[in-house]
Amino acid sequence: MAFISTISIVLFEQMWVLYVSLIIYGIVGKLSTNPVLIAVVANNAPRVGLATSFGIYNFIGMSASILAPYITGFITDATGNLDMGFYFAGALLVVGIIAVFFIDESGYNKVENVEKTN
């Protein structure tokens, strides 16, 4: 949904599609992925370095927020089209989706196993 909403920002010219796309991205792109990413960091970070791990996670996210306008501007200057920045963002989302499939979750307890032990 995050990929579709990002790409639909440039594919459609109606303003209502832009509004709906931004709302959908806000819900599925940020509100739903941040808790999952925080859980992944918490499960994979050493307990003695948990605060440092969250600090690095936050640093990387904020670095992306700072670099995104510069990268988008560079792409716009190189191609002469602002739409390419959104296509690049969509491509990065696809890379992220593929990367999620490579997360090793074999060491985690399944929800039904956790409920039975309590």
With residues binned 3-state (H G I as helix, E B as strand, rest as coil), the percentages for the chain, rounded to 5, are 80, 0, 20
Question: Tens digit of pLDDT for each residue in 15-71?
Answer: 998 889 888 888 887 777 778 788 888 888 888 888 999 999 899 888 988 999 999
Distance of CA 64 to the CA centre of its chain: 11
Evaluate whether 5 touches 18 at the Cβ level (below 8 Å): no
Q: What is the DSSP string of 97-117?
A: HHHHTT---TTSPPHHHHHHH
Find the length of the chain. Answer: 118
How confident is the model at residue 115, as a pLDDT? 55
pLDDT score, position 110: 63
